[in-house]
Amino acid sequence: MIHIQDLEFAYPKANFRLLVPELAVAAGERVAVVGPSGTGKTTLLNLIAGLLLPQAGQIRLGDTIMNAQGDGGRRKLRRQKLGFVFQDFQLIPYLNALDNILHPYRLDPAAKLDRLARDRAYRLSELVGVSERLQQKPRSLSQGEKQRVAICRALIRQPSLILADEATGNLDPENKLLIMDLLFQCAQDDGAALLAVTHDHALLERFDRVVDFADFRHALEPGTRT
């Protein structure tokens, strides 16, 4: 599902350089990404999603080279293939939780926001324990509830690739296990690849493989972005 080759990326005016010689994630594979803060884990997810563009190298999603696409092409690929759990949630403040979950349908003119989509939204919200909070806007939700709404949004369209940036970072131990079970189950049901950044080493044994960013070369100074 993902194949990265000779990837190079640097932020302007920052002493940061991410070099990934090769990284592949197969369809259905569950891969954890670990490493110290500042090594570029979040940057890598943003590059895969086409939110950032590398200076060199290739990011292939299936048969398509993501970084060879224009803005519209990358946007279309994200809509069709990706579910992204952002570390800072990125919920839309003026929408309630249900409309945030369903928002990917409104972004894609080809998507059909019908009863089946709404039923899936309710079912996901029940699985993560926020079904009683669907009419609340993000300002009324706890950090953990925001996280769970963001996870429902990432899974709502049954993506073929799930990118998760600290998806369990704001959750208590019980909800961490619940969320990981849901991510793994959705990946299994849909044959999706799961690439998850995590600092929680207690979860690593549940993944098929662990990628340690210490294996990639990078140049850093204090205060650089991740």
- Picking from 84, 106, 87, 85, the residue whose alpha carbon sits closest to that of residue 95 is 106
> Residue range 64-76: average pLDDT?
93
Check residue 93 and give its pLDDT: 96
> What pTM was estimated for this model as a whole?
0.89
Domain boundaries, the chain: 2-219
Nearest to 211 by CA among 33, 8, 6: 33
Burial of 40 (0-12, 13-18, 19+ CB in 10 A): buried
pLDDT of residue 188: 87
Calculate the average pLDDT of the chain: 89
Residue-wise pLDDT tens digits, 90-102: 999 999 999 999 9
Q: What do you get for the CA distance between the two ends of the chain, in Å?
A: 24
- Phi, then psi, of 140 in degrees rounded to 5: -95, 0
Judge contact between 44 and 54, C-beta under 8 A.
no
Give the architecture-level CATH label for domain 2-219: 3-Layer(aba) Sandwich (3.40)
**Rounded distance, CA 42 to CA 55, Å?**
17
**Beta-strand relationship, 64-65 and 30-34:** unpaired
Phi, psi of 34 (to 5 degrees): -125, 165
| Rounded Cα–Cα distance for residues 221 and 200 (Å) | 24
DSSP 167: T
Return the pLDDT at 223.
Answer: 40
Amino acid making up residue 160: S
Identify the pLDDT of residue 146.
92
Distances (CA, A) of 34 to 60, 101, 181, 214: 22, 28, 19, 8
Question: Bridge-partner residues for 82, per DSSP?
Answer: 161
pLDDT tens digits, residue range 109-137? Answer: 888 899 999 999 999 999 999 999 999 99
Place of tokens 């019908």: 114
